[in-house]
Structure 1
Amino acid sequence: MIAFTRWGLLFLLVAGTFLVGQEPSKPEPNPAIKKDENNKKDDVPPPKNKEDLTGKGDPMPPGETKVGPGRGIKPPAQVVGPDGKPVTGSTGLTGMMGSNYQPPTEVGGKLLRDWVIDLRSADPSLREQAIRAIASFGPNAREAIPQLVERMADRDSSPRMRAVLAIKYMDYYDKDIPKVVDGLAKRVSEDPQAAIRYEALMALGRFNYQEGGRTALPAVLKVADDQGNWEVRRSAYSILPKLGADETGVDARVYKALINGVKDTAARARHEALIGLALLGKPNDAVLATQMEKALISVLNTRDVPSEIFARVALIGYNSANTKIQMPLIIKHVRDTDFAHRMIAIRAVSMLGPPAHESVPDLVIYLNDKNPELIMSVCMALTSMGPDAQRAADPLRQFLSKKEIPDDLRSAASFALDAVTRRRFNVTNPNPPR
């Protein structure tokens, strides 16, 4: 059993978010969509085709095929809970609270069942308050998941958003996962509020193909082409590799969406599409493979350095034989004088993990830097490399010998030292989708 300190837990949460792509700020609602000020209602329009939007039934329509093998770079390290299991699927944040965590039996002087009754109040402010309260019951709140799924379709956007946010972090019973995924897919496809579509996408990121996420694939593919909000597209690109890949291969539509994403007008959306292609690797389909390679090569000579870095990572995922040429060109940016480019390069070597161990001498120099964000990123990168970064052990010990180190950086450096010396390696590098 692993015991996490408060700061250690914070590091794990931050590390997990960093390695899979930092979550951007919540987008503002699409300015093109305005509430009817005369009506004051925020009704959600019914879907035009329920099956198309929610993905019910066969998630792969006729004419669509799986193309594999989906063997790109290994997925980034995942956060694991006290039981050593990744926090995904039906496990919410309470899965990381440890065996001593005792969820409350009352919140605001009311039992869970009382708050569930309030979910049907005619007062939207009380419905929102009830959702907040229910989420505070920890794992016991799983009993209210069906009712919260209903609130995701609330006529008022405030409780609707609050329900999506609650479900994003809560625990579920496995039997409720289809309801949750279906409800989130509807928000992604139907909701007029860009912020709600965005949060629903982030919540769907908890699920992979095997865990039921595949039924949301049509909805996510739809918004991957949403020209009204780049953060919605970015979020769609980020979860497509999880929803569209299993042991038999990758849905061809996922490759097509990500290849198109390489040309996205928003840089940060492009980056996520490139990362997705890096994770999936080369498709077996010759036409798609050619399109993917051309798209990646086209990025190399642009002035967008972050896109260039991620394209090189994707080329390594496309064919490991590219490592010899592309890896040094990635690592050189670890020494970049531009701070933003340097941080992107460190993120890239974090993604690549052990094969990027040649970056260790450049990384450990930054342990003496005064920027805590940079030091944290270096620790994450070293952790992802594990024992292949053993050369970092002494510099990490020297860093830890300093007296004035913030608790979060001390936890991060200790975690990295444990990883590179094999004492403890509390992150998992699961097999890439096959």
Structure 2
Amino acid sequence: MNISEFRTSVIRKAIYGELVPQYKEEGTSTELLQQILEHKKEKKKAKVTSTIKKNSNGIFYEYFEDGSLREVEEAFDIPDSWNFTSLSTVIDLTSGRDLKSNQYSDEEMGIPYLTGASNFLNGELIINRYTNEPAVIALKGDLLFTVKGTIGEMAYLNLPEAHIARQIMAIRSEHIPLPYIKIFLDYYVEELKIKARSLIPGISRDDLLGALIPIPPLQEQLRIVKAVETCFTFADLVEQRQMLTKRFKVNLQSALLNEAIRGKLIPQNNDDESVLSKLKSLDIKGEIFEDGPFNLPDGWIWTNLKTISETIKAGGDKPKEVSSVKTDEFPFPIYANGAKDNGLYGYSKEAKITEESLTVSARGTIGFSVVRREPYTPIVRLIVIVPNRNLICLEYLKIVFDAFYTDGNGTSIPQLTVPHVKEKLIPVPPLQEQERIIAVYKKLIANL
């Protein structure tokens, strides 16, 4: 279960009466709801009242004062001390209204003008417009709720007042704690998303007021709010630690890569054959550079990639016949530019590359590299490098590319091209040292 799923689970348990225990001494919510209805009748705000009950067949019905009833699909089992009621019973709802462009500005004159989800960030309000001609005013302490555009953003108004546009509704309640209302609305929006398969065009005033909310006794509501806050605080801490851990791992891996290509990950061995000596013995007359981006240990050289490679080329067109799954007829993987599934596109009848090689993404996730040991076909802006194995190990070459391109380094260019890659300067240690670097690096990152 990830953190998002944990939060959803906490909300669901809270609304189903499963988050905190019930206590007999706290009674039921029946008396609380009667008090609310009587209070509303005194203010002439009460509508036709109803009760929600489950019949002997386990079906929930809403029974109205006039004797009519309707089946209620959205009801569910709740503790005996709880009652369902419509949200209209326990809240007062203010619907927003848009202003004309000449009625507001970004100058701090008048009162704030809140237009929609763009004013909400992590439960806080961002104020960037003001008006001297307010028409629909939310008051300090109101729970603001977005009902159009991005649905379900919520925040408490911590200013004396603000004008709200039609994408926002303001909720207040004299008898039910607004934090409990907020918990229900989190549940309500999630249920709407599930039913609508994540796409909710909007929530109407009637939909919101008609939503059925389970009401626990007042003291239990307060305990539920406290329990949810505690769980969410814990979730926030876990999420922060996960982000820090992920960032730490990325930073540590980047540091290890940079140490590796600078000759600082392991000590040098004077008995290793130097790269220059190896080039002479192989009669390779490549370009050697005295200076590079950083200093190298003795025995290492700066050279371009074409000097130490057998082949550097770009992927071609995709084969005419492609299978989405591997079969006896289509056994060879096709790899395209991209990091998802290591770039796997499908399978072909023939392989274009049969040597062990490194593929490098030339667009998108620039520099993303993968060691390929099996025959395959490269396509779509994928660069293939077949190294000279007498000079450079395939795994070390990947370490170099990871060091250059990990965490956004070196990605200021819009794309990699074969000419660019051929001229890329590479720090090359002796072959034996490369093997030791690979072994130590693999051991270190295995523990991350």
Select the structure that is richer in strand.
Answer: 2
Q: Same fold (TM over 0.5)?
A: no
Q: What is the TM-score of this pair, normalised by structure 2?
A: 0.19
TM-score normalised per structure 1: 0.20
Larger radius of gyration: 2
Of structures 1 and 2, the one with the larger relative CO (CA 8 A, separation 6+) is: 1
